[in-house]
Structure formats: structure tokens, C-alpha cells
Chains A and B, each alone.
Chain A
Amino acid sequence: MEAGRSPNVEIITNADVQEVSGIAGNFRVKVRRQPRYVDETKCTACGVCAQYCPVTLPDPHNQNLSQRKAIDILYTQAVPSAYAVNPDYCLFLNKQECKQCTRACQAGAIDFNQRSEVSTYQVGSIILATGFKQVNPAKLKTYRYQDSPNVVTGLEFERISSASGPYVGKILRPSDLQKPKKIAFIQCAGSRDKISGKSYCSSVCCKYAVKDAIVALEHEPDLDITIFFMDMRMYGKGLETFYERARESGVRFVRSRISEIKRDVQTEDLIVKYVTEDGSLKQDRFNLIALPMGLEAAEGNFYLAKATGIDLNTYGFCRTALFSPLSTSKEGIYVAGGFRGPMALPDSVMQASGTAACAAELLTAVRRTCIAEKAFPEERPVDQEGLRIGVFVCHCGKNIGGVVDVGEVKKYAATLPDVVFSKDNLYSCSQDTQALIKETIDKEKLNRVVVAACTPRTHEPLFQETIREAGLNRCLLEMVNIRDQCSWVHAHEKEAATEKAKDLIRMAVAKARLIKPLSEPVIDVIPKGLIIGGGLAGMTAALSLAGQGFECYLVEKTAKLGGNLHNIHYTLEGEDPQRYLQQLVAKVKGHELIHLFTEAEIESVSGFVGNFETVLTIRQNHNETHMSHGDTKDNEINPPSPPFTKGGHPLSPPLEKGDTGGFSGEKKEKLRHGIIILATGATPYRPDEYLYGKSSKVFLQHELEADLATCRFVPAPGDSIVMIQCVGSRDETHPYCSSICCSMAIKNALKIKEINPAANVCVLYRDMRTYGFHEDYYRLAREQGVIFIRYEKDSKPEVNEIDGKLRVTVKDLVLRKRVRIDATYLALSTAIVSQKNETLEEALPVPRSADGFLLESHVQLKPVDSYVDGIYICGMAQFPKPIDESIAQAKAVASRAAILLAKGYVKAEPIVASCDPDVCIGCAICESFCPYTAIRMTKVGKLKKAEVIAAACKGCGVCASYCPARAISMGRFTHGQISAQIAAFGADGS
């Protein structure tokens, strides 16, 4: 919806790309657009056309489990919010008869004269985000999807359990619409399966099966749910805990690839035959089976690749490289989400932001050249005028008018105090009504406008803009919801609904009499960034910000840049990480917009979004030996560019001179910047088990890597290298899964086999979590003779050293015997743990998860924003992740941060709090309750007074409701306004 509302995003639906020509910075894209047969600008999405349409067809949104009409909207939140005709089913388009919709549509939006059109667009950069598709279950005969109604895909199961789904949230099975008692989820259907050509792991299916199982149990606690799986791949933040929760809620997990499903024709139950890990053959009966299908490349990928000239990988997904995960093989064309490979939502969102940064870097020189900013007439001052309220009541076709007596409501509104005008409209949101509202404001000299229609959540911005265009401040509007919360929910109680509409309008008019024009505080942003942490993520973020033309400070605690990347010597994909690191460091050091501080710690951070001030402590004895663009001298020679000013506000003073601290060998530096990026990294856990630190043959996985890379350890024929996975991980020490250790073990195992195929490698694991395309390397390792032995959490391997010989004992769950291995070398894959840095945590208290990793403000939708505005998180500080994901995330933070920096200001919504210092008693209750640290106590003379930081305020009003002196007022929700609404609520004469 935000994209739909932006004046700089043009949404072209029903379209495909035919041809792309040109080069990075100047592409020509030929787009073919199929007709919708509905004029988007006229359609109000009232839905009357669909009510009259006589044709029904399976509803793709509900996975074809329910019906829809030949003219319909895919789902209620769809953007653009307009209906579309399905040309394959429409009677008029196929048989030249019907046109019921045309007659029913009171907005005159149906247009059967539309034809397919080809247009050419000139763009600088292209982002591909075409997604993936589900593997067709009908092709996999074993699962009996086609002949058994009660075998459904994972997506179908999601719709079945959704409140807006075909069974309105009741979990029923399709054959007889009865409640199932036993449900099975069968994992890896069309995934990790070489025969079906989908040998990779689809990454998301384990996660969503567990989610669906938990949701199903919340609906129906008595359900008996079994999940058949090979490895439960619950990697990623918070997911292992989720897995544990599923076990605790009674979900049964069976490690087995099922061998057969039989259909019981009488009951439509399904009988699953499977072999358990210990080799016994079992069978079980289920009422419903869900197949969380694997994901594959969409057919369109091939055509898109042809049109754009980019390369695909062997599976038909876009080919990307480890160190440039968002770039395609063609410069200027970037890729995000499911077109890169199967991935979960947060990764998709993150990559989407990341590609925006890639495009912004490319197009920095032409920033602001093609954007539209709307100009409005000057605001009319209304404070000297008497109240003149206009009320507009909407019919919304029949949506409101069919239930509420709109004519009567309109007449009633005219009787309310200070209402000088009232009118009903067929569609208040239509363009002609918008024009009428503007005309009326002018003609009737209205200075408050009340619109009784749908919900302010979707339509308030539109009406605010309309009255603003007519010269009124946008806060002089009040909306009344008489559709979503009245006519739609009281469809059979016309009189009561009409009474309710009148009451709501009376309350709104009472409030409207007290509303006042409000300004939108504009706070300038210092167009510079601070990046804390000089590892891969920190450096990538700094380079991206600098590449987009923003000055930034990069602060590294140690003497050298690179962080954990120093520990990576080779990769599964065959790239050279150390060479890449050298190039990256050189680029960072050579970039004129990056001021680098090494051996520097954050002493304090103050301020808020757009205006932060940070004090660094820099160990000085090394100062001559390392690069530092950011020292005092530099700042004196090259003063920062003149501060950006807006609206006459004084802006940031130039960077203050470094203030040398009193201690010898230490220097303090004060920095001012608009945003902060936290890229503080993580570190491998050093365990006190398995003789680590006690035996000369026991190492961590990355130490093995270094030993192999530097030939400190050369595997000899007959050597036995043992690896133990999940050390201090997925247990009481660190309950989460660190995501990268399985792939790392596979990488080192393959390296050993490459150096000496006659060396033995044995991996002791709990679940192999080589997700995505790394699954292929896992298979390769097995093919090359690497031995995998599974162990359970409660029967861990034992390691002893007797007479200099290292002995590993583990219970093999397949052989049901204890296996003894004399190990030449033992490598432990330990948990990745967050970096402890108390100084930093004290200076910058950003919320962390129980595991110690930085918390994102919304796990799915805002994966790189922290809880605090203007502070972003990336890299392993957010959670352990592989190189490509770290780079994508670093690009994503650079993109999020650049939005603020490029804009140059933060505009606070007029709903923010304000404090009257004459009334404030300085008790600081508000400061202690504000959840956004948006209130600070300042000294005014001898007294303390609360001051609201508008840029950080979210308008929640906690401060106002606690203020004992009523000194705090909430914009648009003042005490007086709400009290007036309450009084009007009671003034209905009863």
C-alpha cells in the first residue's frame, strides 16, 4: 500500500517484460500490458460487480479450494485496489453476452474496450523480484496428491487454517468437510530429491510445516500431528526455539522418508508406510496429509533471462556470486528474493532493500532528477474564522447505502452544531467527488471537514490531501467509519446501523469542533553515517553508503579491518575470500568519504534519529601506524560540506574539533551523524568439553580450516578426521542453531578429500542443515566417502585421550551400536555467539534477544531496522549467517539508512506529543514511561521540564495519559477532543 501511495512508484500490473536493451544506467524496457477491463482510476473496489457476475471459477488465492467470480479482486488488500476481469472465464469476452458487471457498476469503471498495449520505459537500473513457484505435486506420484482429496499441499493447508480461507478458519478435510483427528506433514516433497531434478533444499518447508502444525494445534488442541522429515532444518533466528515449542505442544517428529501412501477409498483416510531410523517397517493411518512442497524456479524466469540477457543456474534460478549476491551477470540488473533461490520472508525483504542500495549506488549521480514532489497551495489561516463544518456522507455504492439510510444521516448531520453544509455522495473517493469537496470548501468557506465513509486507515491520507489541495491544513479533517465498522458488520439491522452512523457522526463533529491546524515538525538529518564494526558487513555497509555519496565514519575496535573474514580461507563456491578481503580493505581505506578509526571504542552516544553525537576513545600509540582519515587534522583541512538546512532550522554545527583526553595514549573524538549502523559481529564459542584446549589434537572448525589452508595439517592416507557438530549449540548452553556450521563442516570435509582422498572423514551430527543450494555439496561429500553418523542430544559423543591417542565414541542410531573412532584430528563445530562489549552496550542500549543478538524491529517485515529509529543492524551481530547473506544484509542497511540521509530531514507526523513548559511540573513520569525514549528532561532556569523529541515520538500518548499536570497534549487526540467525543456519545437523548 505504501508503494501504491508513493508518487514515485508506478505500478504496472498484468504485464510482462518483452525486451530489454541498453546498458547499466540507460536501459530501454519494452513491457506488454494485458487489459484488466476495469478502469483502475474509477474502480472503488466496492465489489458489487462480483456480486452480479454469474460466472464462478476456482479461487487461486484460496489455492482453488473455494470459488470466486470472473470479475474479482485477488484479495482485499491487493494494490491497486481495483477489480479485474478474468478473460478466460468472462461470458462477454467469450460469448459476447452478459455484461452484468457493466450494469451493476455505479462508478462506470468497467471497460471492455481495453486492449493489450506495449510501452517502452527508459530506466537506469532493473531489479528482478519475480519470485518462485511451488513444485507441482501431481508430478510426484508417491504422494497420491492427484487421486486423494485429503492429500493437500502446504499452501492449501495454510489456506485451510486461515480465517479468511475457504473454511473460515476451521480445519476441515476437503473430502467430507469433517474435522480431521490425525494429520501428517511429509517433508521434502519435491525437495532434496535428485530423481525429480530438485536436488537442492527448499529452505523454508521445515519452518512453515512447524508453524502450520503449531497454528493448527492452537485452533484444535486435540489434533494428533506427525511430521515426517529427513533433517529438521530449523536454522535461523528464533526457529530452534519454535521447533522445541512444537515438540512440547505434542507434535510427533518422525525421522523417515516415507516409502508409500495408500488411499482407503471407503473412509478417504490415508495409510502411510515408513521405515524408522532403526530399520523397522511401520504404518500409520491419517485423516489428512499436508505436503509442504519444495520450491522451484518459475517458468517466467527463462523468458525473463532471455529478455534481459542474464545467466541462470542449473536449477533455473538467477545465477549470483558469493561476494556479489544481489548482482546478476549483467551490470545494472539486480536480483532479490525467490528468483535467487528459495528463501524465507525476512531474507527476501532484506535483499529487496539491498538491491535498492545497489541501484542507488549506480544512479547516485542522477539522484532526484526524475522524482515527483507534489506542490500544494499555501494554507489558509483559519484561527480567526468561526467554525464552519462540512459533512460528506458516502454511499459507497450499495456498501453503505444498501444498509444505512444515508439520506437521513445527511439530514441529521445538518442539525449538529456548527455544521453549515452536509451532502451525500455515491463514492466519496472518486475523482469527481474529490473535486466537489474542494469546490465546496471554497464556496462554503468550510474550515473543518468530516467525511463519513470507510476507514481512516486506508482513506484518511487521500482526504487529507484533498482538503490540503483546497488550502486547508490536513489536520482539519475527521473521518467517520460507517462502512467497515458499521454497514458491513450490521448488514441485516438497517435501523440500528443508521442510528450507529448518526451517533458516530455526532461524536466526530464534536471532535471536529476542537481540531486545529497542526504543523508537521521537520527535523534536519545530518547526512553522515556511523558504522560500528569493521568486519565484512561493516565495510560493505560503509562502502555502499559512501558509494551513494554519503560521508561515513567506520569504527573498528581492533587494529585491523576484516573481523571473521580473516578466518575464512576458501569457500564451497570456490572463491578466494582472502583476496576479496584485501580488495575490500583497500577500497575502504582509499575511499575519500569513509573516515576510518581503528583501535577505537564508543564511549558515549547521545541524540536521536537524524542527530546523533558519538564520542570515541581511540588508543593513540598506534595512531601513526594505521590509516585514519578521520583524525582531527583531516577535519581541519577538509571541513565537512556545509550542513543541509531546511525550513530555516539551524542545522548541525560543523564537526567539533577532537578533544584530546587527559590520559596519555588515548584520544577522544566527537562525531556528529544522522544514523548508526551496528555491525559488531559474533565469534565462535570456545567450549570446555571434548578436550578442547586440553588435547593438541582438538580444534575448532575454523582452526582446522586455517591448518588446512596453511598446510599446518596435511591429511595423510588413513588419517581419521572427526568432526562434531552442534558443540555448545542447540543445547542448554546456546539453545539456537548457528546456521553456518553444517556448511562449514562440509566445506572442510571436501577440502580434506580434495587434498587426500585416502583420508577418512567422519561427521557426527544431529541434523545436517545444509540448506538451499549447499545441499548439493552435502551430497557430494557423501559421494566422496565422508561418513555421517547421527547422535541425539542426550547421548553426545565421548572423547578420551589415552596415551596420546584420541578416541571418539558415539552411539550409531542406525547400527544401534557404539562406534569407536581413533581420531588423528578432532574438529568441533561450535555455536557462534554474540560479541560481548559492555562499553558499547552501555553507550548504546539497543534491545537484544535472549540469545544476545541484536533485535530487529519486526522480524519479518523490518529485518534490519532496530527498535530505535535511525539505528540499523546487520551481519553476525544480528544472527550468524554466511558471507553472501551478510553482504546482502549490509547492503540492506545501507539502503534503509540512505533513505533518511538522502531525504535530509525527518518529518514527524502531526500526532506527536507536545509539552507545555508553563504547566509541566518536571516530575519526569513521562520520561520514565515513554517506550521510544522520545522525552528528555531539560533544565529551564532552575526547573526541570519535559521536552518531546518529535522525530522519535510515535504518538502513542502514554505520556499524556500519565501526566499529572496535563501538560502534555497529543496532536489530533487531545484530552479535550476525546472528552468531547465521550460527551457526544452520551448526548443521544437516551
Chain B
Amino acid sequence: MVNEPKILGFLCHWCCYAAADAAGVARFQYPPYIRAIRVMCTGRIDPVFILDGFVKGADGIFIGG
């Protein structure tokens, strides 16, 4: 479990989500633990979402914006 953390990601459509796509195009390899939710802006992230993520079992929350 320690080696396989569950990460929940919130990615801004305009920047971080695009960057994550670019990482794919460049075939950069990274560990497969993140599950991303796309939002139109990190401003959309209600603090409740973060708490909820932990409640639902996330070991970490990644916010990219």
C-alpha cells in the first residue's frame, strides 16, 4: 500500500491538463497512481472537494493550475 499511493488530481484545463497531455506526447514516464479530474480552472475547486477526496480514500491530492 505504501508503494502504491492513491492520488486524486484536479487539473486546470488551460494549463496543467495541457501540460499533462504534453508529457504524454513527449512520452515522459511517471508512476501510474494519479487519477485526474479536469476542471476549467483551479478556482473551481471547492475546499470540500479536497476533504471529500481524503474521505473517499485518497492518500494525496494533486492540484495543478
Taking Cβ atoms with an 8 Å cutoff, the residues of A that contact B are: 76, 163-164, 168, 455-457, 481, 483-486, 488-493, 496-497, 499-500, 503-504, 507, 911, 931, 954-958, 960-961, 970, 973, 975, 978-979, 981-983, 985-987, 990
Contact = CB atoms under 8 A, between A and B. Distances in A.
Contacts of B63: none
Nearest to A961: B46
A717 to B, nearest CB: 65
Contacts of A955: 40-41
Contact of B20 (A484, A957, A982): A484
Given A76-B25, A961-B46, A489 B57 contact: no
Contact of B24 (A163, A485, A504): A485
A491 B27 contact: yes
Contacts of A931: 43
Contact of A985 (B35, B38, B39): B35
A985 B29 contact: no
A269 B35 CA distance: 49
Given A491-B27, A957-B41, A973-B44, A983 B56 contact: yes
B30 A970 contact: no
Given A481-B21, A485-B36, A979-B49, 18 more contacts: A164-B26, A457-B18, A457-B21, A484-B24, A484-B25, A485-B24, A500-B32, A503-B35, A954-B40, A955-B40, A958-B44, A973-B40, A978-B44, A978-B49, A981-B37, A982-B56, A983-B56, A987-B56
B35 A507 contact: yes
A271 B59 CA distance: 56
Which 7 A/B pairs are nearest by Cβ-Cβ distance? A986-B56, A957-B44, A484-B24, A956-B41, A958-B43, A488-B24, A496-B32
Nearest to A963: B46
B46 to A, nearest CB: 4
Nearest to A970: B44
A123 to B, nearest CB: 35
B7 to A, nearest CB: 10
B45 to A, nearest CB: 6
Nearest to B25: A76
B25 to A, nearest CB: 5
Interface residues of B, number: 35
B27 A489 contact: yes
A486 to B, nearest CB: 8
Contacts of A979: 49, 52
A665 to B, nearest CB: 49
Given A956-B43, A973-B44, A986 B30 contact: no
B26 A163 contact: yes
B3 to A, nearest CB: 11
Contact of B17 (A457, A488, A911): A457
Nearest to A959: B43
A948 B36 CA distance: 28
A518 to B, nearest CB: 14
Most central of B28, B36, B47 by chain A CB within 10 Å: B36
A990 B24 CA distance: 27
B22 to A, nearest CB: 8
Contacts of A975: 46
Nearest to A966: B46
A114 B36 CA distance: 43
Nearest to B43: A958
A961 to B, nearest CB: 4
A1 B53 CA distance: 35
Contacts of B49: 978-979, 982
Given A979-B49, A982-B49, A490 B43 contact: no
Nearest to B47: A961
A985 B21 contact: no
B46 A483 contact: no
A961 B44 contact: yes
12 contacts: A76-B25, A163-B26, A456-B38, A457-B17, A489-B28, A489-B32, A504-B36, A955-B40, A961-B45, A970-B44, A973-B44, A979-B49
Nearest to A929: B43
A985 B58 contact: yes
A978 B20 contact: no
A979 B56 CA distance: 10
